Chain A
Amino acid sequence: MGMKFIGARVPRLEDPALLTGRGRYVDDLHFPGMLHAAMVRSPHPHARVTSIDARQALAVPGVHLVMTYADLPAPAQQARIPMLVPNPSIKHPLMPYALAKDEVCYAGDGVAILVADSRYLAEDAAALVDVAYEVLPSAGDCREALKPGAPPTHAGIASNLAAQFTLAYGDVDGAFARAAKVVAASLWHHRGGGHAMECRAVIANWDPLQKQMILWSATQSPFLIRRSLTELLGWDEDNLRVIATPDVGGGFGPKTIFHPEEVLVPLCAERLGKPVKWVEDRRENFVATTQERDQYWDIEMAVDAAGKILGVRGAMIHDTGAYMPWGIISPYISSMTTPGPYVVPTYRLETRVAMTNKVGTTPVRGAGRPQAVFAMERLLDKAADALGMERAEIRRRNFIQPAQMPYNVGIISRDGKPVIYDSGDYPGCQEKAEAISDYAGFRARQKEARARGRYLGIGIANYVEATGLGPFEGATVRIGPSGRIFLLTGASPQGQGHKTALAQICAEKFGVGLEDVTVQLADTGIIASGVGTFASRIAVNAGSSVHLAAQDVRKKVIKVASHLLEAAEEDIEIDGGKVFVRGVPGMTKTLGDIARSVAGMPGFALPGGMEPGLEATQYFSPAQAAYCNGTAVAEVEVDIETGRIDVLRYAMGHDSGNLINPMIVDGQVHGAVVHGIGNALYEWMVYDADANPVSTTFAEYLLPTAAEVPRIAVTHQETPSPLNPLGVKGAGEGGTIPAAACIVAAIEDALAPFGVKVEDTPITPVKLLQLIRKAQANAA
């Protein structure tokens, strides 16, 4: 047999180019005659646009075009940008026009796009576009926005309530009536961003030979861009090709979203007949790229005397910002995630989605789950404290047991189907995390530290995450006359190593090396249908498609070889790119020989009446999500004089099913954990009371650096999903989901002598010091 690749820590095919400066991101591409665009954006959170005068800008030599709403083609004036995932509970399905019609609804909303010879010139001239605004009252805080008399976020709407829904099962009020203890919390998770190191970028180039508009975009989903563009502009999708390759510099959610520039840049290229490039700068990324997390939870838990959960109920307000391009996905996911790995017999969460005059919110790594896990895990800590029970123990008492799988949670998902966990060993995963974090030894460490005046604390948190979101992804596997294997897929990576992981699955089927597989991806021109890389879905969807397509091609190779070598199919073996007859040395053909034999000769029938070519396409469509899970343990130190918080140790028990490349999965977990540490301690997208963005540079909005984060210990439990042929589950977001919950728990544990309670994230030194001082004053 050839090399076993699945499960192996193989180096990535992507790396040599990226390490030597030969990566190619959108801004690295150049086309002859290319022009450069800059956006004119609203400086106001809410205003009426009374006039736009572009004459001065257009008079600047080298300026080619200023496009405003009035200059858009008729379809884009009539229709707003399509909402990708509508839902009947949405009362105001508000989406923006490609450019503001007569009203801007957040600071950063696009008013005009300007095209010039260079970006420098375009920015100079954009400053000369004279836009007259009549400033309107704006809604900042999502709780205030829902109150009667709050300023409407959009002219003509009766209320800022965008959507309302309740997820419930069982007699939750009855459960509370017979509870031994009820604990409650009011919690707030603040807004942050995806902050891929590469901002968004688009090039549109009309190809007169192919009669095709080619769009290069730093996107997570070229197929969704194509769909949105054809829907909005009525373009023929065969004349539109969207490419997110060779390289995209990070995604983390917001690059899934169809942003207005993705329609404006091709419109400018069409109008001018020249390639047009627009590259978002970091400040624009802060004001005009979607964000996530602002949610307020008022939630309570009922437990019996043994610490068993009887019910969870409460209400949540989600800030969707001025627009809702991804519908109500994030708050819906939040409300489905709360029960997590625990038996929660009764549940009710009432969710209200509020519009504000801030940039829209859409999923960012974790997608609504960190907030729900924060709520659930903080309640469990409070319940444990109320019962005088150890915090890990209350979790053990409530876990869904492996024997209960598949487990019907009781919730109906947004596609109308019940939420059923397919597999998982939650007690086993927590046990592993406790072992690698030396959870049992912590109290001794804490005692020893406290004797020296140091405040250490520990926190533990669990989560369950729906991954491998459908409906499908596809892959074509083809062996050419050269014997080389080609793998084509709509998966669209931004650093996840799809090329390597998918080549691993494919190469193993033919006993060849990874270098013998050419992987092409992220291009609507190479496969008929695709979805994109988000929702931790590629290993499940694209991985399974590659597995199935490669298996089909393998079967065909055996069939053709059996014919050519006059041997039974059972006796044919494939290895090292060659086909053998078992026990007959010398009876061999290369994969290239087999491919050529079914490529056909003019006038001759194909051998055995077979179909031409060695090629198969498969679109794997999972029956439902594959549920991954994990346990995080954080150990922190708090300096009670300064409020400084150091995460000393961090451990993660992680179960994403079978691992294709453990090195890549570890990297996903490390990155996701640090994103979660950012959410817990540093990342705070600050707006003032009127919804003006305040933190619009990396000097004001803090991403974690290497110096703040600890070494992260990861241990994998591999519980295969029965729902896909590889037994895999998603791994991209799990690290983020429980991070804030366990870090805040650890901070509270460290400050237990003062009784400090932390209810919101990020918890900064200044805020924490205020809490410590307040607690000290109360005690005195």
Chain B
Amino acid sequence: MKDMRKVSVTVNGKSYAREVETRLLLSDFIRHELELTGTHVGCEHGVCGACTILLEGRTARSCLMLAVQVDGANITTVEGIAPSEKELHPLQQAFMDNHGLQCGYCTPGMLTTLIEFLQDNPDPTEHEVRVAISGNLCRCTGYQGIVDAALDAAKRLQGGKRA
């Protein structure tokens, strides 16, 4: 018999309530139940980082969690990063300006990982950026555009605070 549970969760500021199988992965819940397909699944074993989301503001691999674990939680996915429909977050803009993405598949995980990192370390060195994203695989960019984007975003975000 299917073991079902009710899950209530807030994602990108919007509340959702669903009844799901207890074995449903959080990544599949977000993608296929909530239809927020920006969060990607690249390995299903927690290594590639494409499925990274922000759970209560901290990064989490949604492929290594069950949907039932997030009952009552606050989640941000890539769809919730930009300040508005028409505006990009400074980090997203930096990715665009520094060619920090090619196929776009790893991008959601890179963005969520870097949002947390730049909050913890607003003025990082290149080495610190490289270590911060070393749990996120990208096959297209060789990481250089992503590293440049992160360093550029750090400047933009700090500039924003000063202003």
CB within 8 Å of B: which residues of A?
A: 11-12, 14-25, 27-28, 30, 120, 194-199, 247-250, 252, 281-282, 494-497, 663-664, 666-667, 669-675, 697-699, 703, 705-709, 711-712, 735
B49 CB, nearest partner CB in chain A, Å:
9
Contact B145 A670 (CB under 8 A): yes
What's the Cα separation between A674 and B137 when bound, in Å? 12
Q: Is the CB of B88 within 8 A of A698?
A: no
Query: Within B113-140, which residues are at the interface with A (CB < 8 Å)?
Result: 126, 129-131, 133-140
Complex Cα spacing A705 to B104, Å: 17
Verify A282–B45 contact, CB threshold 8 A: yes
Question: Is A21 in contact with B101, judged by CB distance below 8 angstroms?
Answer: no
Q: With an 8 A cutoff between CB atoms, is B59 at the interface?
A: no
Best-buried of B31, B96, B102, B135 by chain A (most CB within 10 Å): B102
Complex interface: chain B residues within 8 A of A248 (CB): 103
Interface residue B23 (Cβ < 8 Å from any Cβ of A): yes
Whether the pair B88, A247 counts as a contact (CB closer than 8 A) is: no
Given contacts A19-B92, A667-B140, A709-B143, contact A197 B130 (CB under 8 A): no
Complex A-B, nearest 4 residue pairs according to Cβ-Cβ distance, in ascending order:
A21-B38, A495-B103, A18-B104, A249-B105
- When distances are taken between beta carbons in the complex, the residues of chain B under 8 Å from A703 are 137, 139
- Report yes or no: A664 in contact with B101, Cβ–Cβ below 8 A: no
Per-position contact with A for B13-34: 1 when CB-CB < 8 Å, else 0? 0000000010110000001100
CB atoms of B43 and A282 under 8 A apart? yes
Instruction: Confirm or deny: B37 has a beta carbon within 8 angstroms of a beta carbon on chain A.
Output: yes
Which residues of B are in contact with A by a Cβ distance under 8 Å? 21, 23-24, 31-32, 35-45, 47-48, 50, 77-79, 81-82, 88, 92, 95-97, 99, 101-108, 111, 126, 129-131, 133-147
A281 contact from B32, B39, B44, Cβ within 8 A: B44
User: Which A residue sits closest to B85, measured CB to CB?
Assistant: A20
A-B contact count (CB 8 A): 174
A19/B95 contact (C-beta < 8 A), A197-B48, A698-B47, A712-B142 known: yes
The chain A residue with its CB closest to the CB of B126 is: A711
- Interchain CB contact under 8 A, A247 and B78: no
Known contacts A19-B111, A667-B99, A711-B126: does B142 contact A674 (CB below 8 Å)?
yes
Please tell me which one of the listed residues B37, B135, B142 contacts residue A21 in the complex, with CB atoms under 8 A apart.
Answer: B37
B129 to A: closest C-beta gap in Å: 8
Q: Residue on B with the closest CB to A193?
A: B139
Taking the closest CB of chain B, its distance from the CB of A713, in whole angstroms, is 10
| Chain B, Cβ-Cβ closest to A493 | B103
User: A662 CB to closest chain B CB, in angstroms?
Assistant: 10
If A18-B104, A19-B111, A20-B79 touch, does A197 touch B141 (CB 8 Å cutoff)?
no
The answer to whether A697 and B43 touch (CB under 8 A), given A19-B88, A23-B38, A23-B104, is yes
Query: Of all chain A residues, which has the CB nearest B45?
Result: A697
Contact A707–B103 (Cβ < 8 Å) = no
A197 B103 Cβ-Cβ under 8 A:
yes
Q: From A19, A199, A663, A706, give the contact of B143 (CB < 8 A).
A: A706
Which one, B31, B36, B81, B99, contacts A12 given CB within 8 A?
Answer: B99
Q: A666-B99, A697-B47, A705-B135 are in contact. Are A249 and B40 (CB under 8 A)?
A: yes
Task: Tell whether, in the assembled complex, residue B50 and residue A197 are in contact, meaning their CB atoms are under 8 Å apart.
Answer: yes
How far apart are the CA atoms of A671 and B88 in the complex, in Å?
Answer: 25
Q: How far is the CA of A675 from the CA of B138 in the complex (A)?
A: 10
A673 to B42, CA, bound (A): 22
The answer to whether A21 and B131 touch (CB under 8 A), given A11-B97, A670-B141, A698-B43, is: no
| Given A18-B104, A495-B104, 10 extra CB contacts under 8 A | A27-B37, A30-B32, A248-B103, A249-B40, A250-B105, A495-B102, A674-B143, A697-B43, A705-B143, A712-B142
Which among A24, A667, A673 is the interface contact of B102 at CB below 8 angstroms? A667
> Across the interface, which residues of B come within 8 angstroms of A21, CB to CB?
36-39, 77-79, 108
B38 lies within 8 A of A196 (CB): no
* A20/B105 in contact, CB under 8 A: no
B134 cross-chain contacts in A, Cβ below 8 A: 705-708
CB of B137 within 8 A of CB of A197, answer: yes
Return B95 CB to nearest CB of chain A, in Å: 6
Given A282-B43, A282-B44, also A675-B38 (CB < 8 A): no
**Partner pick for A671 among B104, B108, B140, CB 8 A cutoff:** B140
In the complex, what's the smallest C-beta–C-beta distance from A322 to chain B, in angstroms? 25
Q: Are A198 and B130 in contact (CB-based, < 8 A)?
A: no
B interface SS class: loop
Whether A663 and B99, one on each chain, are in contact in the complex, defined by CB atoms closer than 8 angstroms, is: yes
Instruction: List A contacts of B21 (CB < 8 A).
Output: 120
Most B CB atoms within 10 A — which of A16, A17, A667? Answer: A667
CA distance A711 to B136 in the complex (A): 17
* Contact in complex: B103, A19 (CB < 8 Å): no
Which chain B positions have C-beta within 8 A of A663? 99
Q: Hey, which chain B residues are within 8 Å of A699, CB to CB? A: 45, 47
Residues of chain A lying within 8 A (CB to CB) of residue B40: 25, 197-198, 249
Which of A18, A197, A247 sits near B138, CB closer than 8 Å?
A197
Q: Closest CB of chain B to A652's CB: distance in Å?
A: 11
Q: How far is the CB of A36 from chain B (nearest CB, A)?
A: 10
Listed by A's residue number, 19 A-B pairs whose Cβ atoms lie within 8 Å are A16-B96, A20-B38, A27-B41, A120-B24, A197-B103, A197-B140, A199-B42, A250-B102, A250-B105, A282-B42, A495-B104, A667-B140, A670-B144, A674-B142, A697-B47, A698-B43, A705-B133, A705-B134, A707-B131
The SS class assigned to the A binding surface is loop
Instruction: Chain B residues near A247: list those with CB within 8 A.
Output: 103-104
Q: A198 to B105, Cβ gap below 8 A? A: yes
A30 to B32, CA, bound (A): 9
Cβ-defined partner of A196 (8 Å) among B96, B103, B107: B103
Q: Complex formed: what's the CA distance from A735 to B144 in Å?
A: 14
CA distance A23 to B37 in the complex (A): 8
A199 to B140, CA, bound (A): 14
Task: Say yes or no: A12 contacts B96, CB within 8 Å.
Answer: yes
| Residue numbers in A under 8 Å from B95 (CB-CB) | 15, 19
Q: What residues of chain A lie closer than 8 Å to B140, measured between beta carbons?
A: 197, 250, 495, 667, 671
| CA of A670 to CA of B148, assembled, Å | 13
Min Cβ gap B5→A in Å is 15
Residues of A within 8 A of B79 (CB): 20-22
Assuming the contacts A18-B107, A671-B139, asked whether A711 and B144 have C-beta atoms less than 8 A apart, the reply is: yes
> Which A residues are CB-close (under 8 A) to B77?
21
Measured between C-beta atoms, what is the minimum distance from A681 to chain B in Å?
Answer: 14
**Contact partners of B106 in chain A: CB under 8 A:** 197
Alpha-carbon separation in the docked complex, A14 to B77 (Å): 20
CB-nearest residue of chain B relative to A663?
A: B99
Contacts of B36 in A (CB 8 A): 21
* A673 CA / B32 CA spacing, docked (Å): 36
Please give, as numbers and ranges, the residues of chain A lying within 8 Å of B138 by CB-CB distance: 197, 706
In the complex, the chain A residue whose C-beta lies closest to that of B23 is A120
Expressed in whole angstroms, the Cα–Cα distance for A674 and B143 within the complex equals 8
User: Judging by beta carbons under 8 Å apart, are A15 and B143 in contact?
Assistant: no
Asked if A22 and B38 sit within 8 Å, CB to CB, the answer is yes
Docked Cα-Cα span, A494 to B32, in Å, equals: 23
Partner of B48, one of A673, A698, A711: A698
A513 to B137, CA, bound (A): 34
Q: Shortest distance in angstroms between A498's beta carbon and chain B's nearest beta carbon?
A: 11
CB-based contact B107/A19 at 8 Å: yes
Q: How far is the CA of A149 from the CA of B153 in the complex (A)?
A: 62
- B103 adjacent to A673 (CB under 8 Å): no
Given A247-B103, A249-B104, A197 contacting B45 (CB threshold 8 A): no
Output the least CB separation between B93 and chain A (Å).
8
What residue in chain B is nearest A119 (Cβ atoms)? Answer: B28
CB distance from A645 to the nearest CB of B (A): 17
Partner of B146, one of A28, A249, A706: A706
Contact A707 B130 (CB under 8 A): yes
**In this complex, what residue of A is CB-closest to B82?**
A20
C-alpha gap A120/B27 in the complex (Å): 13
Q: A712–B126 Cα gap in the complex (Å)?
A: 13
User: A543 CA to B134 CA in the complex, in Å?
Assistant: 36
Q: Which B residue's beta carbon lies closest to that of A675?
A: B139
User: Whose C-beta in chain B lies nearest to the C-beta of A707?
Assistant: B134
> Who on chain B is nearest to A199 by CB?
B42
Contacts of B107 in A (CB 8 A): 18-19
